[in-house]
Amino acid sequence: MEVRLNSSAEMVLEVNLNNFQAEVVDKSQQLPVLVEFYAEQAEQCASTSVILQKLVGEYQGKFLLRRVEVQNNPQLVQQMQVRALPTVKIVHQGQIAGGIDGPVDEDQLRNALNQLTMSSLERIKEEIDALLSNGDRTTAIVRLQEVIAEEPNNFGLHTELCDLLIMEGRVDEAREMLAGLPSDSEGLAKPKSRLEFIEMAESLGSLDSLIEKMTKSDQNDCQLKFDVAIKLVVDDKIEEGLSLLLAIVEFDRAWEEEKARKAMIKVFDMLGKGNELAMTYRRKMFALLH
């Protein structure tokens, strides 16, 4: 079970020999603990403190930060074999799981934290994203199938696989899999939205013919613009599709019971949480509507 804390007072705390066992060793059984060894007046420690405080905010309770002032805690310094300032030790499940001696390398620290804090779903998604960025959808599908065989009840993996199958044109296979998934499966909106766009596009004809028709017709024809946008989304020209949907919202927000705005939300669902393009167009839509 993933544990997270919301209180900044719980996430960041000064520790000493008296509370080190309780605040570092014991709590590392639930969450990774970063132990920052620093000296108050040491300039080189200040930049490390800034990076660590930044990461505390970013990771939102996925790890704890414990700070040890070295001049007041020589016994801890000796026990933890601190030989340079600043030093960061990572303690996980009662053991030292890594660390950095000297000025902190943020990327190195972030990578170490990711390995400790990412769920199995997040880790496999990272691996799949790397394969997809190289255009290797086939291997991504095979890899997901392998992991699902090991974790059959991780339904978030099933929804990722369904989405890739749809993108590969294996729609019937994806539909069959979707029908057997619980309604609260993580990421379910992604493949479902993609399927809806495919179904909407089936009777629309070719994209080229629609675009040609749009250039020759009334520029205020919202339905034609909407049809073109749907075909663009299905043809993986997502940004062009979103841009056209946004233009409809700008021209007539209430058209067909806000059909264009609702379609934009479905595109955001299809792109998935954290997608940069989705976040950009969410902001544009929000600014337009408010």
pLDDT interval class at 9 (50, 70, 90) = low
Backbone φ and ψ for 272, nearest 5 degrees, come out as 95, 160
Would you say the C-alpha torsion 204, 206, 207, 212 has a positive or negative sign? negative
207-289 shares the fold of 8-117: no
- For the chain, the average pLDDT equals 91
Question: How many CB atoms sit inside 10 A of residue 274's CB?
Answer: 8
Task: With residue 265 as reference, give the H or E element that holds it.
Answer: helix 259-271
* Domain made up of 120-186: CATH architecture: Alpha Horseshoe (1.25)
Instruction: Kindly state the average pLDDT of the residues 43-70.
Output: 92
- Of 62 and 228, more confident: 228
- pLDDT, tens digit, for every residue of 126-170? 889 899 989 999 999 999 999 999 889 889 899 999 999 999 999
Q: What is the CATH number of domain 8-117?
A: 3.40.30.10
Mean pLDDT, range 184-204, rounded to an integer: 94
Q: How many Cα atoms within 13 Å fall on the side-chain side of residue 45?
A: 16
Q: What CA–CA distance (Å, rounded) separates 207 from 26?
A: 61
The predicted-structure confidence for 138-150, as pLDDT tens digits, reads as follows: 999 999 999 999 8
For 259-284, the pLDDT digits (tens) are 999 999 999 999 988 899 999 999 99
Give the mean pLDDT of 232-237: 95
Fold of 207-289: 1.25.40
- Give residue 141's pLDDT: 96
- The domains of the chain are located at 8-117, 120-186, 207-289
Amino acid 112: pLDDT: 86
Q: Answer yes or no: is pLDDT of 216 > 80.
A: yes
How many Å is the maximal CA-CA distance in the chain?
A: 81
- What pTM did the predictor assign? 0.62
- State pLDDT tens for residues 19-36: 999 999 999 999 999 999
Task: List Cβ neighbours of 252 (8 Å cut-off, separation of 6 or more).
Answer: 222
Whole-number pLDDT of residue 8: 56
